[in-house]
């Protein structure tokens, strides 16, 4: 099985959660870099269709993720990593979809089955395992903050977009330094008080979150 190359959660017992999650998803990250879409990005070109499809999926994914985070905002294992002002993507994605599809964008968007499976898992985690939300938030937001600037530039050049139109998703106006913000986010992850079972669950969920992204 492909995931067997990953370091297994039970093999990791020392160091902080932010380190553990990085180690346990290392191979998943490599696979995520090698999807067709990400390879297009690395070749420096993305098509309009590819970007529109990505935005449609991201809309559904962030709608479910941010709804789950909002609903559990005061949960002990969510509150420290709850940063709606800095991270919220849904309003930006809506703006981008409106740019490409016009005001009736809601009627025009469609998403693949893989995205619906991801959404379903996010809803389930939100209601049954809020302590695993950190795994999903980490996978999306830290990924967006890490590669987002580069992907944004490639999208802009490939599609000849002007004045940042259609590119709101990549922009985090409330984060002045992604590097510093990621440090803060990691320290908040490390402050979560999790039982051993919960910690393992979070690590497994992070691997699952990467897999869901790869399938999208
Ligand atoms: C073209 C494809 C990609 C490239 C070249 C890439 C590259 C990188 C690089 C260089 C970093 C390290 C940044 C740093 O240490 O500050 C990083 C971090 C990260 N990436 Fe990616 N990435 C890609 C795709 C993805 C995808 C598809 C996901 C998941 C949806 C993802 C999730 C993450 C996460 C969660 C981190 C934070 C790791 C940590 O600091 O713990 N990446 N990426």
In angstroms, rounded to a whole number, what is the distance separating the alpha carbons of residues 138 and 188? 11
CATH topology for 16-215? Heme Oxygenase; Chain A (1.20.910)
- Give the closest residue (by CA) to ligand 1 atom 20: 143
User: What pLDDT shows up at residue 12?
Assistant: 67
Instruction: Establish whether residue 75 lines the binding site of ligand 1, counting it when its CB lies within 6 angstroms of any ligand atom.
Output: no
60 is in an annotated binding site: no
29 is in an annotated binding site: yes
The dihedral over CA atoms of 150, 153, 154, 155, expressed in degrees to the nearest 10, equals: 120
**The two three-digit tokens of residue 16, written as one number:** 């902080």
Per the rule left: phi > 0, alpha: psi between -120 and 50, beta: everything else, 175 is beta
Q: Which residues contact 80 (CB under 8 A, 6 or more apart)?
A: 188, 189, 191, 192
Measured from the CB, is residue 213 less than 6 Å from ligand 1?
yes
In the block, tokens 């190359």 appear at 5
Whether residue 185 has its Cβ less than 6 Å from ligand 1: no
Kindly state the tokens that stand for 28.
């998943």
- 143, 144, 206, 216: residue to mutate for ligand 1 pocket, most atoms within 8 A of CB: 143
Helix axes 17-24, 26-33, angle to 10 degrees: 50
Domain boundaries, the chain: 16-215
**Cβ proximity of 134 and 78 under 8 Å:** yes
Contact 45, 159 (CB under 8 A): no
Q: Which helix (H) or strand (E) covers residue 67, if one does?
A: helix 48-71
d(CA 61, CA 117): 10
For 140-188, what is each residue's pLDDT tens digit? Answer: 999 999 988 899 999 999 999 999 999 999 999 999 999 999 999 999 9
pLDDT tens, residue by residue, 9-59: 766 666 899 999 999 999 999 999 999 999 999 999 999 999 999 999 999
Residue 4 is given by DSSP the state: G
Atom in ligand 1 nearest the alpha carbon of residue 214? 27
């Amino acid at each position: 099985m492909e995931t067997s190359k990953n370091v297994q959660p039970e093999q990791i017992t020392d160091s902080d959660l932010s380190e553990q999650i990085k180690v346990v998803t290392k191979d998943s990250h490599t696979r995520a870099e090698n999807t067709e879409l990400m390879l297009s990005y690395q070749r420096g070109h993305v098509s309009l269709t590819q970007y529109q499809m990505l935005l449609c999926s991201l809309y559904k994914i962030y709608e479910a993720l941010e709804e789950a985070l909002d609903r559990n905002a005061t949960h002990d294992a969510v509150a420290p990593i709850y940063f709606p002002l800095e991270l919220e993507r849904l309003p930006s994605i809506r703006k981008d979809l409106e740019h490409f599809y016009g005001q009736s964008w809601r009627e025009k968007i469609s998403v693949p089955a893989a995205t619906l499976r991801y959404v379903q898992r996010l809803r389930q985690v939100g209601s049954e395992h809020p302590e695993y939300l950190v795994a999903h938030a980490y996978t999306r937001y830290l990924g967006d903050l890490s590669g987002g600037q580069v992907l944004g530039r490639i999208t802009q050049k490939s599609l000849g977009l002007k004045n940042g139109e259609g590119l709101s998703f990549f922009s985090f106006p409330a984060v002045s330094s992604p590097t510093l913000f990621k440090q803060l986010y990691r320290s908040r992850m490390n402050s979560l008080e999790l039982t051993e079972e919960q910690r393992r669950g979070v690590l497994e969920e992070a691997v699952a979150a990467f897999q869901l992204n790869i399938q999208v």
